[in-house]
Amino acid sequence: MAAVDVVDETFLAVPPEVVAAVFSRPESWRRYWPDLHLDLYADRGAEGYRWAVTGALTGTMEVWLEAVLDGTVLHYFLRAETELSARQARKVAGARQLAAKTLALDLKQVLEDGRRPGVPPVRA
């Protein structure tokens, strides 16, 4: 078995509660990760969520929300095993890394909603 490990961190200039709300509904999970079946095992509220993952990959996934300065660092972790070869697993990991960063930057654009530098974030 080959491993697929994805780690990403992105700063969002909004409070953790705002980011947590994005991930709080199972409908959003299916939109962000349509090929994964997620079983929530830790709802940490404004600190994030942890899931057991099955489907295209088998393992665990976490969104950890860390309050930093006037916003949140969105930490994303995916640890999984696959029946793919090591080479194919690296390609899958690369695609998942790109998808994680795309998701984070999309959230940044939507949640910050045109916030100008130096302007405090909107509170939840």
Q: Tell me the CATH number at 54.
A: 3.30.530.20
- Please provide the DSSP assignment of 45-92 as one string: GGGEEEEEEEESSEEEEEEEEEEETTEEEEEEEEEEEESS-HHHHHHH
Cα of 106 vs its chain's centroid, Å: 11
- Give mean pLDDT in consecutive 10-residue pieces for the chain, a chain of 124 residues: 92 94 93 95 96 95 94 96 90 95 94 76 57
pLDDT value for 70: 85
Domain membership of residue 118 (yes or no) is no
Domain membership of residue 57 (yes or no) is yes
Domain that holds residue 67: 2-112
